[in-house]
Amino acid sequence: MWTILSIIAIVSLIAFSTRGPNAIWGGATAGLIIGAIVALVRDGFEWSTIWKGIVIGIILGLITGIPPLIAEILRKLTKRME
């Protein structure tokens, strides 16, 4: 499961890398911070905890970033149809 989510996360980062600051990169940053805190607080530091935090942050950013993207595409399509 984490492999599939990681692939989705990496593809999302690459796809949205040219759009400037956005929810996906913000989610990755928040996931990094939260994942690092959790990894430090838990017994036995694990890098996978940080990676899972980043992936969860990216997926949440993707979920919040898709509706504005769809709205932008629909707006462009309706302008072409006029």
21-62: per-residue pLDDT in tens?
Answer: 888 999 999 999 999 999 999 988 899 999 999 999 999 999
Count up the domains in the chain and report the number: 1
- Which pTM value belongs to this model? 0.82
Query: What phi, psi does 61 have (nearest 5°)?
Result: -65, -40
- Determine the structural domain holding residue 9 and report its residue range: 2-81
Q: Is the dihedral of CA 7, 9, 10, 15 positive or negative?
A: positive
Instruction: Say what the pLDDT of residue 68 is.
Output: 87
* Nearest to 4, CA basis, from 70, 66, 58, 49: 58
Q: How many CA atoms does the CB half-sphere of 74 hold within 13 Å?
A: 6
57 near 27, Cβ under 8 Å? yes
pLDDT at residue 75 is higher than 90 = yes
